[in-house]
Amino acid sequence: MDLKMFLLLGTFLMMAVMLCADRWVHLPVRIVLAASVILTLAGVAGAKLMARIEMGVWGGTSFFGAVFFAPVLMMCVAFLFRVRVPDLLDLCAPSECVMLALLKVNCYLNGCCFGKVIGISREGEIIRFPSQIVESVTGLVLMAVLLMMIRQGRWRGRIYCWYLVLYGMVRFALNLMRETEPFLFGMSAGNFWSLVSAAAGGLLLVLLRDTGKSNVCNKEKGELVR
């Protein structure tokens, strides 16, 4: 299965995750379906752009491009469809996780994103840390965590911020078990952008800390009305 097929399958899986999360966000279905397709296109463009920034050439991909740049376009989509930006970004966070999990399976099949050598078998074969599979599994776990946070309602409107924090932390740890090259300040590109992701998400959580209080108040008011 080539990359295009993985992206197509990933788009359908993102649709499913978005529709699942939309049970608690309540956006129109047509907007959710359109957003999943646009998110895929924005993610691919962002990944290509980030690879260009990292390596100076076109042709590569860096998933952090989807993490950082795709939300910018999704904000424009929210304004176009006249829905709340935080609501749409809440749906994007867990759906990006399922796309990440699927693409890491593609990495494993294509033999890229190697893990570090952790031993040698009796037959003399090199044994590597299965970084692609581990990251795929952690992507699914992160998706489940974010869906539970959406369902709980307490963190509504800040789910993408938590995604930046959690993905940044997990990716930083996993990158220590991958074969990488220095990018900036002696760190690999993955570790550098992981720190940026976690820091940006943490800063946004501080700036948006009052959002959670208003969401709780609105929820309580809605229950009183019923």
Alpha helices in 1-129 (DSSP H): 3-25, 29-55, 63-81, 85-110
Helix, strand and coil percent figures for the chain, each rounded to 5: 75, 5, 20
Query: Residues 6 or more apart from 106 whose CB is under 8 A from it?
Result: 1, 3, 6
On whether the CB atoms of residues 150 and 156 are closer than 8 A, the answer is yes
Q: What pLDDT, on the 0 to 100 scale, is given for residue 133?
A: 92
Amino acid at position 20, single letter:
C
What's the total number of domains in the chain? 1
| Whole-structure pTM value | 0.88
Per the structure, the complete domain to which residue 213 belongs is given by: 3-225
Chunked into runs of 10 residues, the chain (226 residues) has average pLDDT values of: 84 95 94 93 89 75 88 91 94 94 87 82 84 93 96 92 96 89 84 94 89 51 40
Q: Rounded distance, CA 98 to CA 163, Å? A: 12
On whether the CB atoms of residues 23 and 152 are closer than 8 A, the answer is no
